[in-house]
Amino acid sequence: MSDASTEASREGESTGDRRLGVGALDEAVPPDEIPEGVPGESRAIDTGEVRLHVVEAGPEDGKLLVLLHGFPEFWYGWHETIAPLANAGYRVVVPDQRGYNLSEKPPAVRDYRIDALARDAVGVIDAYDRETAAVAGHDWGAAVGWWLALHHADRVSEFVAVNVPHPTVFERALRSSWDQRLKSWYVLAFQLPKLPEAVASAGNWRLAVRGLRESSDPGTFGDEDFGRYRRAWNRDGAFEAMVNWYRAIVRDRPTPETETVEVPTLVIWGAKDRFLSTRLAGESVERCADGRLLTLDAATHWVVHEEPHRVAEAIADHADPLPPGARE
């Protein structure tokens, strides 16, 4: 990159604009970062604490929709939903959350506490100069979304949680259910220093790939998907940072300030999830003042990949940026 283009890519830093060029990231964005056929452009966002890589798509004046990925993915986990949601009128913004892929990777476990992760999402909303955004999260992204809806309700217009329960519901399940404890065995395994990273990366990420393949419907993830995941996991410090999310939640174990979610909430649940009991979905809806449940009986934990258009349709209908009949 030339000096002139580098300067241009950093445009906004001196004016206070928190949406920056990709030259502000620590690593270069690969030319094929966004697959052909997926609309959107890469951008760097300064949240006030970290710099995040985001993919943005859809009309600039559309209702802001922030999609939060989970473990062990990155923004790409939502790639099949971006086009239908952008076509539905949303300004879609999909960050690599802190520690993942091209985003900044703070070194300490404490840097991945849930409060900090939720503040990152607020920082993304601020960067687009919006008071509120609709937020959807899958897996760890849903955990961040629940925390955001509980502690920053004034910044979230609607919330969609995909296959992760309300934090109080999950905490009580871990305390009372041996079935859920056994399903969540990997959380304790991730507390060991260095070993999870070494085991996961051995044999060109053989176990990490096998975990995704065996916990999803056959054919859900293909060779191109795994190639992209391996590249993201291989980035310097990335997998350690990803595991630090689990280390931080066990060491900190915060209690929400309130248990009732006032933000209109849709819970989408793949019923064949091998990591989380389906009953947790209904119990989570009961914690919402305005909550609904959509259960997809044939889907697994990876429902965003298995049923991307159904998930996108449900998100669009829940947040509804267009006037009645406009989508038809």
Q: Residues with catalytic annotation?
A: 139, 246, 301
Please list the residues that pair with 136 across neighbouring strands.
Answer: 67, 160
| Cα–Cα distance measured from residue 43 to residue 128, given in angstroms and rounded to the nearest whole number | 12
Three-state DSSP class for residue 12:
coil
Closest CA to 80 of 281, 278, 222: 222
Torsion of CA 109, 201, 274, 186, to 10 degrees: -40
271 burial via Cβ count (<10 Å: 0-12, 13-18, 19+): middle
| Cα–Cα distance measured from residue 54 to residue 43, given in angstroms and rounded to the nearest whole number | 5
- DSSP, res 37: T
Three-state DSSP class for residue 251:
helix
283 burial via Cβ count (<10 Å: 0-12, 13-18, 19+): middle
Three-state DSSP class for residue 61:
coil
CA distances, 138 to each of 78, 174, 237, 280 (Å): 9, 20, 23, 15
Find out whether 51 and 301 touch, Cβ atoms under 8 Å.
no
